[in-house]
Structure 1
């Protein structure tokens, strides 16, 4: 089910307060400045996709500001990926200014002050992702913030096309499937980042971060390979094995730990699919685990339950084939 907020039917004198509360509920606290507060019109529809949420806003001209005082009241960090459809938007954060037109998207961090200006009537898609979830997929996702990205072609276009399909399809998807859908959106977002050369060249991406991005791209493309090794990764990325290990040590985990985490996440997604036909052993083998018993130990240590428990819970909560979801 979706949640909807709209100013229609709200008294003119109450609209600014109503919209500020709606925005805080959907994202986090912000200060709002209206072009015309009493005549302001807006609608916001929100879909929950596990830990991820997608929303669509249609509003009159407005400016959103995130200040330092807001940060102290909001301990959990999030990223917002905003896609304008009707008119350009202006975004300022961490000394960076971005003018993002329809056909692009911009990335915002909740844990730094910012100003987001939508001077004209506009329609926006906004994906809200916990920073902890972003960091499971991307090393130092902060480096992508305050940059505008193209969504007219390649992975960026696939990402935005998938956002637009969510409202048409999400009600027919079981809650466990919606969580998988949210994670798939993050995968497409990561792919869009990988394919944009500026993320390797911007001032937020020094040499080590650029190496890490290239390494992680190679690893994601080869997670199913049983022959993935430090030497093969180093050779593919033009680095020494020693430097490869050093890069991961500096980010607080080993190469092996990063690979195992990514593989466990993919296995968890497969096990949560109530229509999945592969056995647990087949899933583990496909994602690079050579020993099922070892996989089960790692999986339980990571998620607090066994692979079979996850599969049983997913299938038990899934409605019979042909039944409508609530």
Structure 2
């Protein structure tokens, strides 16, 4: 994954807004930008290149962005720009639609159409996602009614996309360069499924995209329910209204099994808990139970088989030497 960081703190104060304007133009597309804070402007952004998809967490002083017909004729990267708001407020208008957004709001705009965005409130911040329009397997005219309209970011596929974006934004250095295109493909599938769901056009998506999205939903469900010792393949399949056989096929495509993936998630979460100084007073069996291991002996055998060391010994080493937490 290729990452680029720019921040106004590194620029002389008098030049900061001009620098920000130049960087945002290069990052997104040519835009008119204005702010009441040009004299003391603050802004920072990271650009994560994930194949054709770009993710950019950003935070800045209140300002206004306008993409005009003249600027579109000057340059058009032909992108769908998704934005997940994590702080502050936005007023966005495009295609005769004008909507106000608050925290956890999710919307999409088209760089080929004029739009106007006003960010206000205390230190607006969010995570942007840009995907070439040609990679979204839906007709443009079906997506147009969704431009600048609120898309639920706290439930369903919107929550999956928003959660994935914020996780990418917070995981500094957790990914290899070769992970970028794979993560980009996941984002394209999620964004496509989100749009298709919003226009009730799931049938227009390729079967592979629907399958990938369903797999992500299943994995998200598993991770939220690891504490339940009854988290069986039958229970997981029933929660998603699919057969157990189809569930097994989803994970066979991932080169694993449902039970193995559940067990590994539980082991990884428990290993992270064992390395957490804030949980050092909790007995090992209690931490294992919180992650769905009903029998301490079964957990100990599984942990040792996975990591080559008993859980109690791992905890001692981790707390003594500061072994990094295992990723969830």
Query: What secondary structure does 1:192 align onto?
Result: helix
Match of residue 147 from structure 2: 145
Match of residue 161 from structure 2: 159
Query: What secondary structure does 1:124 align onto?
Result: strand
Could you tell me which runs of 5 or more consecutive residues in structure 1 were left unpaired when the two chains were aligned. Answer: 201-212, 225-269, 271-275, 279-326
Match of residue 116 from structure 2: 115
1:79–1:128 Cα contact (<8 Å) kept: yes
Query: What secondary structure does 2:151 align onto?
Result: strand
Q: Supply the distance in 2 between the matched residues of 1:21 and 1:8 (Cα, whole angstroms).
A: 15
How far the C-alpha of 1:54 sits from its partner, in A, is 0.3
How far the C-alpha of 1:20 sits from its partner, in A, is 0.6
Match of residue 73 from structure 2: 72
Are residue 15 (structure 1) and residue 16 (structure 2) matched? Answer: yes
Match of residue 306 from structure 1: none
Match of residue 216 from structure 1: 204
How far the C-alpha of 1:186 sits from its partner, in A, is 1.9
Q: Supply the distance in 2 between the matched residues of 1:119 and 1:44 (Cα, whole angstroms).
A: 17
How far the C-alpha of 1:18 sits from its partner, in A, is 0.3
1:45–1:55 Cα contact (<8 Å) kept: yes
Sort the Cα spacing of 1:26 and 1:221 in 2 relative to 1 into closer, same or farther, 3 A: closer
How far the C-alpha of 1:222 sits from its partner, in A, is 7.3
Q: Supply the distance in 1 between the matched residues of 2:158 and 2:30 (Cα, whole angstroms).
A: 28
Q: Supply the distance in 1 between the matched residues of 2:115 and 2:209 (Cα, whole angstroms).
A: 34
TM alignment of 1:246-261, pairs within 5 A: none
How far the C-alpha of 1:191 sits from its partner, in A, is 2.5
TM alignment of 1:27-176, pairs within 5 A: 27-120=28-121, 121-134=123-136, 137-140=137-140, 141-169=143-171, 171-176=173-178
Query: What secondary structure does 1:126 align onto?
Result: strand
| Deviation sequence 1:43-65 (CA, Å, 0-9, x none) | 11111000110001111110001
| Deviation sequence 1:99-123 (CA, Å, 0-9, x none) | 1121221101101111110022211
1:98–1:147 Cα contact (<8 Å) kept: yes
Q: Supply the distance in 1 between the matched residues of 2:20 and 2:209 (Cα, whole angstroms).
A: 43
Q: Supply the distance in 1 between the matched residues of 2:31 and 2:138 (Cα, whole angstroms).
A: 27
Q: Supply the distance in 2 between the matched residues of 1:3 and 1:86 (Cα, whole angstroms).
A: 22
Sort the Cα spacing of 1:159 and 1:14 in 2 relative to 1 into closer, same or farther, 3 A: same
Equivalences, count? 212
Q: Supply the distance in 2 between the matched residues of 1:57 and 1:81 (Cα, whole angstroms).
A: 13
2:127–2:169 Cα contact (<8 Å) kept: no
Query: What secondary structure does 2:9 align onto?
Result: coil
1:50–1:175 Cα contact (<8 Å) kept: no
> Which structure has the larger Rg over C-alpha atoms?
2
1:170–1:178 Cα contact (<8 Å) kept: no
Match of residue 246 from structure 1: none
Q: Supply the distance in 1 between the matched residues of 2:211 and 2:124 (Cα, whole angstroms).
A: 41
Sort the Cα spacing of 1:8 and 1:170 in 2 relative to 1 into closer, same or farther, 3 A: closer
2:57–2:128 Cα contact (<8 Å) kept: yes
Sort the Cα spacing of 1:168 and 1:102 in 2 relative to 1 into closer, same or farther, 3 A: closer
Match of residue 244 from structure 1: none
2:182 aligned to 159, 180, 183, which one? 180
Sort the Cα spacing of 1:221 and 1:23 in 2 relative to 1 into closer, same or farther, 3 A: closer
How far the C-alpha of 1:19 sits from its partner, in A, is 0.6
| Deviation sequence 1:109-144 (CA, Å, 0-9, x none) | 10111111002221111001111112xx32334343
How far the C-alpha of 1:169 sits from its partner, in A, is 4.4
CA RMSD of aligned residues (A): 2.5
